Amino acid sequence: MNFQFSPEDENFRQEVRQFFQDSVSPEVAHFGYVGAHPPPRDVLRQWQKTLHARGWGAPHWPQEFGGTDWSPIRKHIFLEEMLNANGLDYGWQGTHMMAPVVIAFGNEWQQQTFLPPLLSGEVFWCQGFSEPNAGSDLASLKTRAELDENGTHYVVNGQKIWTSDATIADWGFFLVRTDSTVKPQRGISFLLIDMKSPGITVRPIISIDGGHGLTEVFLENVRVPKEQLVGEPGMGWTYAKYLLEKERTSSAFIYFNKRELEKAKVIARAELIDGVPLLETPVFARKVAEIEADILALEWSVLRILTKEELRDNLDAVVSTLKVRGSELQQRVTELQVDAMGPRALRFFSHDARQKDACDEWDDLWPAHTLGRTNMYFFQRASTIYGGAREVQKNIIAKLAFGL
């Protein structure tokens, strides 16, 4: 065993840190801090262009597609430093979900058509997986894609829900049913759809944090050239599982958890109880410490997976522990912020009130570092629901770790 980052990796960290210090604009930092969903499109575009100009638009892609040759540890360091600097990890659906599938299973035309504009920040993607009656039970999805009489286009009908950021996305990758005669998982395909296609209607869903990020997407006789089906028909379920396996550790939200913990400390240092910083009171200090200890454990769990420890336990069960613990920490750490803020936490900031201009005028009564924290706390109720609900993750653990 070797418990240290190598000196080269430490140097790399300094280089990345410097880059983010120099390149995170006030606009980006605002949305990185506040977390209003979604940030304005031009802020996102500019940010992706900044990363791309440095050659870091999608470091986890293979080099031949514009990625890097970084080790998993370096990719980890990169993301950690980016979030610490309040950079945005917003194009995630495109760069981390669609792209790996197109790189692994797409053809050359798909790779050349869809990857470069994603890298350069010209195009944003959304993900159409869940449906009203296919949430935790995703395999029961019903959105149909049928070849037309000429055999040149799929005609897509159905409804997706919880599609993040479809209002600002140019393209979406969808799981659709192309064959209803086989067992559910076998009849699903992975289809790339232009969100401007006739027959697509996007309806924003206002979430309890006041955000506009979630949407419903209605597809009515949407014609999609069959060239936009990735890989083989009927293999969509396999590809979706592949992309989840590529992103084993992301469900821990370790960078988010670490950063939000630091914000909680900043708030708790500024809040006073009888003249003493809240963070220095035994009760609150203990609460912070309990959460921090769990975050440190989670971080090293992530490192164990990233460095490919040869586990004696079932890998998928261990990965599910990252999701279970990570999502609970997302809720605990944002609750910690709300509890640190005390009565101040009760003011509700609308989506508009969390935009940059609205926040530039601020006064002593409402410290800027408290902005958006309560909204974030509300939004984090979703962390144990999306991406495989906590209950489903626990079923996976029981089954794979213990054969139950």
Taking CB under 8 A as the rule, does residue 300 contact other proteins? no
The angle at the Cα of 157, spanning 217 to 143, to the nearest 5 degrees, equals 80
Taking CB under 8 A as the rule, does residue 347 contact other proteins? yes
Span interacting with other proteins, options 30-38, 81-89, 166-174, 390-398, rule CB under 8 A: 390-398
Residues in 242-281 at the binding interface with other proteins, rule: CB under 8 A: 271-273
Taking CB under 8 A as the rule, does residue 328 contact other proteins? no
Q: Would you say 377 and 349 are in contact if contact means Cβ atoms under 8 Å apart?
A: no
- By rule CB under 8 A, what count of residues binds other proteins? 46
Span interacting with other proteins, options 60-68, 130-138, 317-325, 354-362, rule CB under 8 A: 130-138
Site track for other proteins across 18-47, x = CB under 8 A? ------------------------------
With a CB cutoff of 8 Å and minimum separation 6, the contacts of 168 are 38, 41, 44, 124
Distance between CA atoms of residues 79 and 255, nearest Å: 7
Span interacting with other proteins, options 65-73, 223-231, 306-314, 334-342, rule CB under 8 A: 334-342
Residues in 352-381 at the binding interface with other proteins, rule: CB under 8 A: 364-365, 374, 377-379, 381
- For the chain, what's the residue count? 404
Residue whose C-alpha is closest to residue 338's, from 292, 293, 378, 381: 378
Taking CB under 8 A as the rule, does residue 6 contact other proteins? no
Give least dist CB 307 to other proteins, A: 33
* Closer Cβ to other proteins, 95 or 163, answer by number: 163
Q: Which amino acid is at 40?
A: P
Distance between CA atoms of residues 348 and 256, nearest Å: 22
Taking CB under 8 A as the rule, does residue 162 contact other proteins? yes
Q: Which amino acid is at 59?
A: P
Give least dist CB 342 to other proteins, A: 4
- Which structure tokens are listed for 379? 């939004």
DSSP symbol at 362: -
* Closer Cβ to other proteins, 20 or 162, answer by number: 162
Number of Cβ within 10 Å of residue 137's Cβ equals 11
* Closer Cβ to other proteins, 234 or 277, answer by number: 277
Give least dist CB 116 to other proteins, A: 33
Quick check: helix, strand or coil at residue 201?
Answer: strand
Taking CB under 8 A as the rule, does residue 390 contact other proteins? yes
Taking CB under 8 A as the rule, does residue 214 contact other proteins? yes
With a CB cutoff of 8 Å and minimum separation 6, the contacts of 279 are 265, 268, 269, 285, 288, 340
Taking CB under 8 A as the rule, does residue 289 contact other proteins? no
Give least dist CB 140 to other proteins, A: 8
Quick check: helix, strand or coil at residue 365?
Answer: coil
Distance between CA atoms of residues 209 and 212, nearest Å: 9
Taking CB under 8 A as the rule, does residue 136 contact other proteins? yes
Q: What region, left, alpha or beta, does residue 158 occupy, with left being phi > 0 and alpha being psi -120 to 50 degrees?
A: left
* Interacting residues with other proteins (CB under 8 A): 130, 133, 135-137, 140, 161-162, 205-208, 210, 214, 271-273, 283-284, 331, 338-339, 342-348, 350, 364-365, 374, 377-379, 381-382, 384-386, 389-391, 394-395
